Chain A
Amino acid sequence: MTLLEPRDTADKLGSVSSGNALELRGVTKMFGALAAIQDVTLSVRPGERRAVLGSNGAGKTTLFNCVTGDFLPTSGTIRLFGEDVTNFPAYERIRRGLRRTYQISLLFGGLTVSDNVYLACRGVSRGRFSLIRPRRGDPLLARTEELIEAVHMSAAGDTPVAELSYGQQRQLEIALALAGAPRFILFDEPAAGLSPTERAELISILTGLPSHIGFIIIEHDMDVALRVAESVTMMHNGAIFKEGTPEEIENDPEVQELYLGDGHG
């Protein structure tokens, strides 16, 4: 996949930044009196693949929303490749190489697949306000085609997104996250609702990502999560409960009790 080779910009930026790709310190998000996440401290190295596990309401998606800037944390700092982005609007963080997918597909239903992907490419490049239509041979259009191909959707390029199947919409979500030169991606339950075949395809897309792109994946399906991740963070009630390698987490008695339940015993 030539598309996902390290790109010049990503290389340059990657060498400038030192230390962690993502660093959270004491991040808390309150909704009224309820702490959706509390005092979360987390660091992820560039290129690291991390799975975040936890039951419903553990604060996983809230964590993502704080990192991308969908809403600002109540307290704490967020650093992206060494830069403090705590008070940055979402679009500034995205332009710095952060990407995310949504748990419930947030796509542009009235537009076609290629328009959706084109918008994603345009969002992280110059000319967002351009009034000139792209012509045949426009590099962004070529890039759009590549991305559509990378998520195996070439046949659906001109289809309005509203007419896609659920699985295809999930695939398109991933294509949008790969636009531009992503350096760090947050996947919010990308496998939810997919068929076994589609899951296998998803795993191949995720493991096929170039090694400089790190990601965090929220996933309930342990099979997917543990196959694509090299480290695991367990969340419980808005706080970090445990961190470790997939094996450590899988064999941890506390985790087993919490996550898998002791219903068998």
Chain B
Amino acid sequence: MALVERTVPSGTTWIDRVPGIWWAIALILLIMPVIVNDFILFQVFGWSLVLGMIALSLMFLAGYGGMVSLIQMSVAAMGGYMVAIFGTSGVAAISMELPWWLYIPIAIIIAAAFGTLVGALAVRTEGIYTIMITLAIASAFFYFARQNYGIFNGYSGFNLVVPPPLFGVDWRQPVPFYYLALGCAALSYFAVVYVSRSPFGLALQGVRDNPRRMAALGFNVTAHRIAAYTFASVIAAVGGILLVWQNAQISPGTAGIPAVIDILVIAVVGGVRRPVGPFIGALIYTVLRTFSSDILTTFGLSGERFKLLIGLGFLAVVFFSPDGVLGLWERWRNRKNRDSDPLTGEPK
């Protein structure tokens, strides 16, 4: 993967370079509503795409910037809260009921500003300290939201937060919501892929690999790291807004410590080296979360112990592959290629 691939024969367009399997996946995602029922569409795939976006913002910071941030869920919740506060909700005393074209940008800008501010504090630390400082701010945000009744409406939060009825569509219905989430997720995915090869993204990877050398090449390392937080926060904020719309409510628990950790688990299970990882992790998470109580009761265990399954899954993935499920897949494929004849590519 070079900036401009010089080895690519001229005359090929980008369409030829996308492997067939990607086209197949895109097609399946597009016709998903005719394959699965509304429950799975909304509760599994819709939710996966939304959580995947929030985890994608962590993947961008961790994978390209080498910064493990636990603030992404709080940034997402901030976006969600702002939509409830500036838009419409069941709490008429607080919600300002601005038009959608105003409250959505406001929500994204405020959430991005919040993420940038946290980033500005966190980038001066490395490794475990970045995790600690972002975790500390995330829990501070949770307790603040829970105790502040003037703006965040305290413990109960906001209910009846629904998407605007744009083009006469009720976007909370399973099929429209699925396409809305798919569109946003695809946009964020391609944005991350594109930016990772832009001068900014390349510089960020340089900062990850070798901050000292980057400074000696004329880069302001701190500024690049903070800018990465801003970019990631925009994605997290959009994810947070979708999350609020899907649940039609937001409360401090949305950004509670378990939710914050879940995002980390999703990103790690999927793999933080490639932008597709968080979506795979999110799908595994939502499937487990949705069906594990059924599975557990089948085995005579209590249905609430779904976290046990997720925890075991997390342990297994981290134990067998530090690069998540994607890493496992890559290793399996490499092994398969090794088994084939090096000259003809045919299996031995």
Q: Which residue of B has the minimal Cβ distance to A116? A: B206
At the interface, is chain B mostly helix, strand, loop or mixed? helix
Q: Indicate if the CB atoms of B4 and A136 lie closer than 8 Å.
A: yes
Q: A166–B199 Cα gap in the complex (Å)?
A: 27
Chain B 276-301, CB-CB to A under 8 Å as 1, else 0, gives: 00000000000000000000000000
Chain B 194-216, CB-CB to A under 8 Å as 1, else 0, gives: 11011111110110011011111
Residues on the A chain within 8 Å of B2, using CB: 112, 114-115, 157-158
Q: Indicate if the CB atoms of A129 and B218 lie closer than 8 Å.
A: no
Determine which residue in B198, B201, B219, B224 has the highest number of CB atoms from chain A within 10 A of its CB, and name it.
Answer: B219
Q: A136–B10 Cα gap in the complex (Å)?
A: 12
Q: Indicate if the CB atoms of B220 and A119 lie closer than 8 Å.
A: no
Q: Indicate if the CB atoms of A100 and B216 lie closer than 8 Å.
A: yes
Determine which residue in B203, B206, B227 has the highest number of CB atoms from chain A within 10 A of its CB, and name it.
Answer: B206
Q: Indicate if the CB atoms of A120 and B195 lie closer than 8 Å.
A: no
Contacts A70-B212, A94-B218; is A118 near B200 (CB within 8 Å)? Answer: no
Q: Indicate if the CB atoms of B219 and A123 lie closer than 8 Å.
A: yes
Q: A192–B215 Cα gap in the complex (Å)?
A: 24
Q: A111–B2 Cα gap in the complex (Å)?
A: 8
Q: Which residues of A, 123-181, contact B by the 8 Å Cβ criterion?
A: 123-124, 127-134, 136, 141, 157-158, 176, 179-180
Chain B 1-23, CB-CB to A under 8 Å as 1, else 0, gives: 11111110000000000000000
Q: Indicate if the CB atoms of B199 and A110 lie closer than 8 Å.
A: no
Residues on the A chain within 8 Å of B220, using CB: 89, 91, 128
Determine which residue in A109, A114, A123, A124 has the highest number of CB atoms from chain B within 10 A of its CB, and name it.
Answer: A123
Residues on the B chain within 8 Å of A133, using CB: 3, 194, 197-199
A16, CB-defined interface residue at 8 Å: no
Q: A192–B198 Cα gap in the complex (Å)?
A: 34
Q: A94–B217 Cα gap in the complex (Å)?
A: 6
Q: A114–B194 Cα gap in the complex (Å)?
A: 18
Residues on the B chain within 8 Å of A194, using CB: none
Chain B 164-203, CB-CB to A under 8 Å as 1, else 0, gives: 0000000000000000000000000000001101111111
A9 to chain B, nearest CB (A): 14
Contacts A89-B220, A114-B3, A157-B6; is A131 near B200 (CB within 8 Å)? Answer: yes
Q: List 24 A-B contacts (CB under 8 A).
A: A90-B216, A94-B217, A94-B218, A106-B213, A108-B206, A114-B6, A118-B199, A118-B202, A122-B203, A128-B203, A128-B218, A128-B219, A128-B220, A128-B224, A129-B227, A130-B198, A131-B201, A132-B198, A132-B199, A133-B3, A136-B4, A158-B7, A176-B217, A180-B218
